[in-house]
Chains A and B, each alone.
Chain A
């Protein structure tokens, strides 16, 4: 991969990250949807990246987006709230609040990573892309 392609991929990754975050936020704030619903638009967006033939590190970008949204929002609510509940949730499993905050990002990260990857590989591409590139 030459420098130009690498830059393009980095740019695509960044765009994808922002879009994943926005999609997760939009779907997350709709109460009527089940908690896992963000997976659907993220898969959809993964398909779009394939159709648009973007070079994206799908799993990594999805993971990063999921982690930022889940861990970040938990941190935000904790900071702007009373700082009580995560202490108590942590105390149930005998871990501190920073640990529970990091743990809180993991389910979102894995699911968003898998979702973007699923969408991204859904359509067979004209160009052969190695699995490493996609990951």
Chain B
């Protein structure tokens, strides 16, 4: 009989401790044992799911018939199903196969649940903020509305089942790498998660507001100066509704200071809520009718400008079922195609840039139970949100809200980046079924179908650009815009008065739109949709330079082709620069400068305002304009909380028409400066900076304008950093360090649609896949890929390099 030797206890204990240690995330270090294990760890993510499972039949359950998924050479899935529900089930399955972690993660971000993933406390404030902003509540309300619409509900249910069919096949080995790295597992997909993703996109596009800044400016500058420097409209805009048939109402051109707005109204703290929302997230889109194209068929272009990230925000796909055949980009986690085309129509989107986020100053009783409204004291609503935390006890946050919306910073909440006792009214928090728009657009055959589809669209306000193969073109500024009195919502509002709350929206048929204009084109570059004679008041954060350049280029050409449209979409000319430069050069020639400086001025005079990669003058102009802005707006920059500077077009107007304006005077000098002094000083200092840069590195524009595409976790190893790029925020090819044309699409309709496109990323979200970033270099070079639109199953089969069958 062998005896047991107790010596084994020590190594066995060591094993147990090691296994536990290597299986758990300790001090934010990923579980090394699991991660480095070659059977299940990181190396198992070294694959292309698409190719690995080529020809495979996946048993999913929940499908009424088999669905074919054909992947073309760029691994774009072409999904062909026998009915609509199977199609969306398959879309869910395929989207999850390629992008599960991304879509799941965004749903956590939107719902304010990051503390469940990250074990330190770094995301608690984020989660509290998200809960208070109300995306989760808004998604719940919207889902309740969606569930009442049988078509949307059955599509969303099918999509959800498809995602879950994929999740049910996952084990540790084949789950996306980020789960392994952050040591958590995918949860069941829900319809709510899809709605959360839609709400998250809406929040990105409608989150920017500057009510507090505008309030401070109106009070500090006074009514006249405020209207001079921060006008809602100016003469340099190219609205898309030119032939305004609407009733003239010039009251919106000049904003009188609202009676309630005075310093005693704004007595509490003066911290400006730091906006993490980017006002530049705009986009370009235009359509030209056949009379302006070589082929006689309409061409539609769309390039939405969004934050650039890995995995990419978009995923290309073709969805085919009886009654629909659509190609375009979808947002992983949501059904249908957001921007795309079918055999009959094409559509694009740009941000409407309307301010749909208003703040209301409340009067709350000392016990924080009631608030005053029209002389009555109403009960504050109070909800306790549980924020679960990884490795810690849950955090419970009490959120108060009023008729207007949530109070971001109630007394004692510690949410000090927001103003205390202000309620937020954000259109995003209204229930809406925006998904239905895209579901119906996929099937649209003509303008009437398109109009019926976009009627369901509420938030964020978007410009829908439309083209039909019958040569109908249209633009619609679509979404919920409150009926407001002039100035309402531009400044902080009084929460004690019902008159400050919007009760209605601008009627759908009165929203700015244009149908088959005489010009033969419709366009949007996030400019003002109308002139100041529009019947209703609205405000927002519009930009004009891109729209002006688009108008110029579309007016000039009468025989557009896809190739010519590529050149327009990649155009790097700054319209503002081409307008400002001649004036600035003229002023410099008339000023006292050295011969060397004059020679520099003359050389700059030949610059065409382009931000191409090799341009050497673009950097100089940028430095010069930055100095002119800083020296002119020193009054604003010197404020305790510097507001955004006025528009460049306001600045140009002042230089041109009011060079002696008091704003040009530098308060720190004894003499009184004029525009000419500012322009000259800005030039001399820009020259010095330029020479210093030149001594260090190339002054080629692309060497001074680099683009980062960051992974959603901000891990640089999964990102592409510092790509030298052409373009600039104010040109049509609007690129900046972290955002840019996230998807470029050009579609020519006709007997059969012909299209090209590219997005900044790759089809796969897997960091170990060659298709994770396979489009990026071509995207940065301005190349396009032909988009394979298959009509028949045989075509799809012939064009595929890999295929799956779902059954």
Contact = CB atoms under 8 A, between A and B. Distances in A.
Q: Do A and B bind each other?
A: yes
B35 A89 contact: yes
Nearest to A103: B36
A11 interface: no
A61 interface: no
Contacts of B171: 31-32
A65 interface: no
A107 B32 contact: yes
24 contacts: A28-B39, A28-B40, A35-B41, A36-B22, A70-B36, A73-B38, A77-B43, A81-B43, A81-B768, A82-B768, A82-B770, A84-B46, A84-B770, A85-B43, A85-B177, A86-B43, A86-B46, A104-B36, A107-B32, A114-B14, A119-B8, A121-B7, A122-B5, A125-B5
A117 B11 contact: yes
B666 interface: no
A97 B12 CA distance: 32
Contacts of A119: 8
A110 B33 CA distance: 11
B639 interface: no
Contacts of B35: 89
A48 B43 CA distance: 32
B15 A86 contact: no
Interface string B749-782: 0000000000000000001111010000000000
B50 to A, nearest CB: 13
Contacts of B767: 84-85, 88
Interface in B5-27: 5, 7-8, 11-12, 14-15, 18-19, 22-23
Contacts of A51: 2
B717 interface: yes
B47 A35 contact: no
A21 B41 CA distance: 18
A104 B38 contact: yes
Contacts of A82: 46-48, 768-770
Given A86-B42, A118-B15, A35 B177 contact: no
Which 8 residue pairs of A and B lie closest in terms of their CB atoms, listed nearest first?
A91-B717, A73-B38, A85-B768, A28-B39, A81-B46, A124-B5, A124-B3, A104-B36
B34 interface: yes
Contacts of A110: 18
B418 interface: no
Interface in A68-115: 69-70, 72-74, 76-78, 81-86, 88-92, 103-104, 106-108, 110-111, 114-115
Given A51-B2, A74-B36, A85-B768, A121 B11 contact: yes
A114 B718 contact: no
Contacts of A32: 171
B596 interface: no
A124 to B, nearest CB: 4
B11 A92 contact: no
Given A82-B770, A107-B36, A121-B7, A88 B718 contact: yes
Nearest to A77: B43
B37 interface: yes
Given A28-B38, A84-B769, A107-B37, A78 B715 contact: no
Nearest to B21: A107
Contacts of A123: 2-5
A35 B37 contact: yes
A39 interface: yes
Interface residues of A, number: 45
Interface in B693-719: 715-718
Interface string A43-76: 1000000010000000000000000011011101
Interface in B447-482: none
B172 interface: yes
B36 A73 contact: no
A85 B42 contact: yes
Task: Choose among A31, A32, A122 the residue with the greatest number of B CB atoms under 10 Å from its CB.
Answer: A122
Nearest to A71: B38
B558 interface: no
B712 to A, nearest CB: 14
Contact of B22 (A31, A107, A114, A122): A107
B47 A81 contact: yes
Nearest to A89: B42
Chain A interface main SS type: helix
Contacts of B14: 114
A123 B289 CA distance: 87
Task: Choose among A70, A72, A84, A88 the residue with the greatest number of B CB atoms under 10 Å from its CB.
Answer: A88
B768 A84 contact: yes
Contacts of B32: 107
Contacts of A31: 40, 171, 173
Contact of A73 (B2, B19, B43, B718): B43
A125 B5 CA distance: 8
Contacts of B7: 121
B767 to A, nearest CB: 6
Contacts of B177: 85
Contacts of B173: 31
B770 to A, nearest CB: 5
Given A84-B767, A86-B43, 17 more contacts: A31-B40, A35-B39, A81-B768, A82-B770, A83-B46, A85-B46, A86-B46, A89-B35, A89-B42, A91-B717, A92-B715, A92-B717, A104-B43, A107-B22, A111-B19, A114-B12, A124-B4
B130 interface: no
B284 to A, nearest CB: 34
A54 to B, nearest CB: 14
Contacts of B22: 36, 107, 111
Given A69-B38, A107-B37, A123-B2, A36 B43 contact: no
B119 interface: no
A110 B42 CA distance: 19
Contacts of A122: 4-5, 8
A16 B41 CA distance: 26
B8 A121 contact: yes
B44 interface: yes
A114 B15 CA distance: 7
Contacts of B41: 35
B613 interface: no
B738 interface: no
B32 to A, nearest CB: 6
A69 B38 CA distance: 8
B52 to A, nearest CB: 10
A89 B48 CA distance: 17
B45 interface: yes
A23 B806 CA distance: 36
A121 B32 CA distance: 28
Given A36-B19, A118-B12, A123-B3, A91 B37 contact: no
A103 B4 CA distance: 35
A96 B716 CA distance: 15
Interface string B471-496: 00000000000000000000000000
Task: Choose among B34, B43, B173 the residue with the greatest number of A CB atoms under 10 Å from its CB.
Answer: B43
Contacts of B12: 43, 114, 118
A121 B8 CA distance: 6
A80 to B, nearest CB: 9
Contacts of B23: 35-36
B219 to A, nearest CB: 50
Contact of A115 (B2, B15, B718, B769): B15
B39 A111 contact: no
Interface in A1-48: 28-29, 31-32, 35-36, 39, 43
Contacts of B8: 118-119, 121-122
A103 B100 CA distance: 29
A46 B483 CA distance: 80
Contacts of A90: 717
A85 B718 CA distance: 9
B639 to A, nearest CB: 42
Given A28-B38, A70-B37, A107-B33, A88 B15 contact: no
B347 to A, nearest CB: 36
